[in-house]
Amino acid sequence: MAGEQNLAVSVKSGFINPSVAIVGGGWAGCAAALTLAEAGVRVTLLEASRTLGGRARAVELQGQKLDNGQHILLGAYEQTLQLIERLHATPGLWRLPLSLNQPPDFSLSCPRLPAPLHLLAGLLGAQGLDWREKLAAARWIHSLLNSEIDADHLTVSQLTHTQPEKLNRLLWHPLCISALNTPPGIASGRVFQNVIRAAFGGHNPHSDLLLPQLDLTSLFPAPAAARIVELGGSVRLSSRVTTLDPAPGCITLQTCNDAHTYSHAILAVAPQHLASLIAPVAELRPLVNDVASYTYQAIATAYVQYDPAFRLKKPLFALADGPAQFVFDRGQSHGQAGLLAFVASAAANLPISWIEQAEAQLLRIAHPGTARWRKSIVEKQATYACVPHLARPGNRTQHPRIFLAGDYTDGAYPATLESATLSGVQSANTLLEQL
Ligand SMILES: Cc1cc2nc3c(=O)[nH]c(=O)nc-3n(C[C@H](O)[C@H](O)[C@H](O)COP(=O)(O)OP(=O)(O)OC[C@H]3O[C@@H](n4cnc5c(N)ncnc54)[C@H](O)[C@@H]3O)c2cc1C
């Protein structure tokens, strides 16, 4: 079957046996390689590290499979969920109706009503807001969903400046930080509006929170790679591409060990790694300037192991008055009893004592006793800062046989798994159109 599709591609294109290299085995590169392999194209996925998944990958700590950073998905991540569901008999995701709990100050739960009524009901029933604040939130959301506000040139702080201080502090600004990983003072109002509309403007399940129940590499990159190999493709780990050399009709990619020639390449590396790869290609110089303008934001995850008998009352809580915005109970999601993951997004200038501070934040909610071990993973360049008018390139480049994929390419969403997979699939489809 794969062979037949391959022949069809070759005949239509005039490229004799096109072979595509995908550079970067993050979620975008895996999505691109899988899409091409399923269309019958010969693919080679080259990943610099020993593990697939990039910024959303498994790491081993204290003999347990953890992640480089605790992730959460939204029901609106349609592309990502479709890919995961295609590869798993049971998807390994725990779906929870949206609820934000920050005891004792605030709680909001959205019932199973048609969108956006569920949000309206959630806001009106929220604890910790008075009626004036609830109505202000409902009115503002209505105008945001109906595009009555032109958010193009605004930051999130400007977009929310008419909202009561308490709503911004408890709801909108924490949502901005966790969704865009960018402080509201510089975050793009347009992208924030896109996220709100994707979560609350469509169907009720779009606002669901989905907690991974597997490590992130097992959730998508590893089964995608297995399928690629099954379809005749190749996946090469520990294969950092050092030089990219386009010649008429082919592209040669050099790694530390060898060099191979391909008909096309999809570059699925993070924006901070793109410039060094494409600098020698004259047609791609403007791209180098675009990504050079990016700045980056950190995300820190602290894993803290308590007594295995300890569990939170819910699988996740929002936290206030400290560096962490959320705490997740990995016992409930991953069966890792007594293990909590604290997350600090937009985490500039984190103090060394941030884990102790996060544990102190938790004391407002629960008393887990003494920690057995603690480990912090700080991803200093977790995502690009999602600011207004960021130059986000398309999947097609000025070079006819070089394409881009990654969470930073042109799209509605901020740097997320959904941006990455959407971009990977789109890049592959754009390339397929050309064959
Ligand atoms: C700590 C943290 C928490 C996050 N939380 C969330 C969340 O809760 N929800 C959410 O949706 N998103 C979250 N994100 C964002 C999400 O992880 C990213 O948007 C997404 O993983 C980006 O995927 P990508 O494929 O575009 O890029 P990457 O994951 O960066 O993949 C690029 C790959 O290219 C490889 N590479 C680089 N250079 C080369 C080379 N020269 N040769 C070969 N390979 C190369 C890298 O090793 C990497 O594997 C989080 C990110 C971090 C870091």
Residues with C-beta less than 6 Å from any ligand 1 atom = 23-29, 46-49, 54-56, 68-69, 71-73, 240-241, 268-270, 273, 277, 299, 301, 379, 382-383, 406-407, 415-417, 420
Count Cβ atoms within 10 A of the Cβ of residue 257 and give its class: 0-12 exposed, 13-18 middle, 19 or more buried.
exposed
Rounded to the nearest angstrom, the distance between the alpha carbon of 12 and the centre of ligand 1 is 34
Host H or E run for residue 359? helix 354-362
- In this structure, are residues 170 and 102 in contact, taking their beta carbons and an 8 Å threshold? yes
> Which residue has better confidence, 228 or 17?
228
Q: Which atom of ligand 1 is nearest to the CA of 54?
A: 49
pLDDT at 2: 35
Segment 55-88, tens digit of pLDDT: 999 999 999 999 999 999 999 999 999 999 999 9
Segment 253-304, tens digit of pLDDT: 999 889 999 999 999 999 999 999 999 899 999 999 999 999 999 999 999 9
What percent of the chain has a predicted confidence (pLDDT) above 90?
88
**Residue by residue, what is the 3-state secondary structure of 72-135?**
CEECCCHHHHHHHHHHCCCCCEEEECCEEEECCCEEEECCCCCCCHHHHHHHHCCECCCHHHHH
Segment 211-260, tens digit of pLDDT: 999 999 999 999 999 999 999 999 999 999 999 999 988 999 999 889 99
Q: Which atom of ligand 1 is nearest to the CA of 52?
A: 49
What is the mean predicted confidence (pLDDT) over 115-119?
89
For residue 389, pLDDT beyond 90? yes
User: What phi and psi values does residue 116 have, to the nearest 5 degrees?
Assistant: -90, 15
What is the mean predicted confidence (pLDDT) over 82-97?
94
What is the mean predicted confidence (pLDDT) over 177-206?
94
Domains of the chain: 2-50+217-294+389-434 (3.50.50.60), 66-81+296-384 (3.90.660.10), 98-207 (no CATH)
- In this structure, are residues 209 and 200 in contact, taking their beta carbons and an 8 Å threshold? no
What is the mean predicted confidence (pLDDT) over 16-28?
93
Smallest CA separation from ligand 1 atom 7, residue: 71
pLDDT at 15: 58
What is the mean predicted confidence (pLDDT) over 131-138?
96
